[in-house]
Structure 1
Amino acid sequence: MTRYQRQTMLPEIGEAGQQRLSRSRVLVVGAGGLSATLLPLLAGAGVGFIRLYDGDSVELHNLHRQTLFGVDDVGQPKALCAQRALAQRNPECVVEAHPHRLSASQLPDALAGIDLVVDAADNFAITYQLSDECYPRGLPLICASVLGRKGYVGGFCGGAPGYRALFPQLPAAAGNCNTAGVMGPAVATLGAMQAQMALSQLLQLTPSPLGCMIHCDFVDWHLRQFRFDDAPEPEEPAIPFIDRAMLTAEDCIVELRSPEEAPESVAERVERILPPQIAAWQAPTDRRIVLVCASGMRAAQAAEKLAGRGITRLALMAANTL
């Protein structure tokens, strides 16, 4: 217990809490900026098992904020680099690395035997998928997102409301690190807060981090916290995200991206219909309609218009997450 001595001195943790952490199994989705701080803190605290998914490789422009990696890691899969780095920090923590993106059809296997899920992908489509799977299973989900010098962290599911209780629909538009930029310390701060929330939930500390949202603003220098324990779940069933493995021969696949944006779509037989044309499109009523775009946002907006016309057999695909 020498490694965890300063932690077990806390009366709310002690040896019993440390043993609880050693038996804990955590799924982490994303090995980028948030995880650069999150993962060493989870492993350092003595979490016994981490299942990690990330399909990207380390690039030079990652290094200013993804401090788990070094120059020698450039070009290598992030998940495998993170696995090596954590093994050096705490070999008692078993890291099961999956160097590919976690898609909808893989979620049941990814969640098998897991006690808590951390969404560190900073991708709306993945967040909704994780929440939709964690909520009925009663699995706690810790989410965070950062852009520029602002971000949030929150605890969902596991007895608390799901992500859709606060955000029923995908946003109409949103930037990302590639288009709007981000500061490394802001990312590290939110990653550390994710780790604290995750460890507090695994240790069953009170008050629970589930049902709590914290907004961090490093522009105007303030933090705002609120609880949403009683937020109602949406009455309408969620339109699911799917992946290629979940397509059927009967599906009507609608590609919302232009040929210039996506010369090759997710399947051979697709209808290309740009978002402004959806309102006038005569959609089939006897087939499931699968709406495809890059992030899922345009697909969600098109699905909302079709649902308003009484079309209920809908699914979404975010091509950038496949």
Structure 2
Amino acid sequence: MNLPLVDPAAPLDEDDRARYARQLALPGIGDAGQRRLAAARVLVIGAGGLGTPVLAALAAAGVGVIGVVDDDVVEVSNLHRQLLHGTADVGRQKTTSARDALHRINPGVVVHEHRMRLAAVNVDDILTGYDLVVDGSDNFDTRYLVADAAERLGLPCVWGAVLGYAGQVSVFWPPYGPGYRDLHPDTPGDAATCATGGVLGMVCHAIGAVMAAEAVKIITGAGRTLLGQLLMFDALDATWRTFALSPDPDRPAADATQLDASPAVPVVLPSVLARELAGGEGPVVIDVREPTETDGSLSGALRIPLGSLTASPHLAALATTTPVVTVCASGVRAARAGALLAARGFRDVRSLVGAVGAVASAHPPEDV
């Protein structure tokens, strides 16, 4: 069983119940799972052969915030496999074409366009603020860039690749399982691309559908994910095969030089934080959830969404010696926020393990 990634959003209204009726009936999703999808923030890398089926599926499923990264325009040669784009979209920015298509599918989804090419100088800033990244990029440089950034930030990464009649899918999430570099330590030599080797459009759709399903499972906690497994599809043989994938114990952490700039921070249990706050002189609590996430709010906490944390005037007003605890809905964003603060010189930073709502209901431990 897979633990859900985010806390549920606000209760569903009648329009939501009508739209997602068949999904609400599924064991493992139901009301709570659908609300988790609504609360989730998913970044999709690429609005091409893999990204477009992923984007369409996530929007239709009710993911609340979807980011799409692509710096390209729609070309005629894209149309046989990139189903969000049509002939009338040729020449348009892919992110804009995708955004308009997603709003036709589900007007309630929020779409953030990141019309740029990922690079070492911007990748961490773009990924920060999302709960999950789905990598549908088509080149090894971007795959390593995304995988390393996701590992630094503690983000689960759903990855897929296609070529010819075949495709692959996996989930990477160190330290809970293997990372992309455990599968490909280095760029394969003389690697073919879809431009040189071709690709069957339907392979993109099949692999994209599996990638979207993995994202939904991670968000809701339904089923078992492909973490630690590599799923391979061969359309010519009509076969799906799964192989075990293990972390390499000798592999260094992703981009160790950048890890030093974003160090891990100590953690604190809900019961311990509850005791510190009850004492009246506890740490400053920074809640890095979005304004729409209201479950389990702590009185007196600073509310600064993760994406705007480092630019916040509230943060600028704090001395770097101030004891700080970062909190969120699951602990994932809190850990990333703590690392950002530590990298900016804060000396006494911890992140909360688990959901902020657990603090209010925790019984402070007895002194020993």
Tell me the distance in 2 between the aligned counterparts of 1:219 and 1:4: 34
Partner SS for 1:33? coil
* Number of the residue aligned with 2:114: 98
Partner SS for 2:121? helix
Render the CA deviation track for 1:133-190: whole Å, top value 9, x for unaligned.
1123321101111011011011101522111112111101111111111110011111
Tell me the distance in 2 between the aligned counterparts of 1:13 and 1:22: 12
* Number of the residue aligned with 2:53: 37
User: Which aligned pairs between 1:1-322 and structure 2 lie closer than 5 A?
Assistant: 1-157=17-173, 159-228=176-245, 230-236=246-252
Tell me the distance in 1 between the aligned counterparts of 2:63 and 2:255: 34
* Number of the residue aligned with 1:285: none
Tell me the distance in 1 between the aligned counterparts of 2:240 and 2:147: 24
Letter in 2 for 1:90: N
Q: Percent identity?
A: 42
Aligned 8 A contact 1:164 1:234 in 2: no
Q: Unpaired runs of 5+ in structure 2?
A: 1-16, 259-368
Render the CA deviation track for 1:16-58: whole Å, top value 9, x for unaligned.
1000000000011100011221111000000000111101100
Q: 1:76 to 1:2 in 2, by over 3 A?
A: same
Aligned 8 A contact 1:200 1:209 in 2: no
Tell me the distance in 1 between the aligned counterparts of 2:94 and 2:65: 18
Tell me the distance in 1 between the aligned counterparts of 2:19 and 2:88: 28
Q: 1:11 to 1:175 in 2, by over 3 A?
A: same
Q: Unpaired runs of 5+ in structure 1?
A: 243-322
Q: CA deviation at 1:127?
A: 1.1
TM-score normalised per structure 2: 0.63
Aligned 8 A contact 1:168 1:234 in 2: no
Over aligned residues, Cα RMSD in angstroms?
1.8
Q: CA deviation at 1:97?
A: 0.8
Q: 1:117 to 1:238 in 2, by over 3 A?
A: closer
Aligned 8 A contact 1:26 1:51 in 2: yes
Letter in 2 for 1:45: A
Larger CA deviation: 231-240 vs 70-79: 231-240
Render the CA deviation track for 1:177-232: whole Å, top value 9, x for unaligned.
1111111001111111110111111111232332221011112221111232x422
Q: CA deviation at 1:235?
A: 3.2
Aligned 8 A contact 1:129 1:240 in 2: no
Partner SS for 2:210? helix
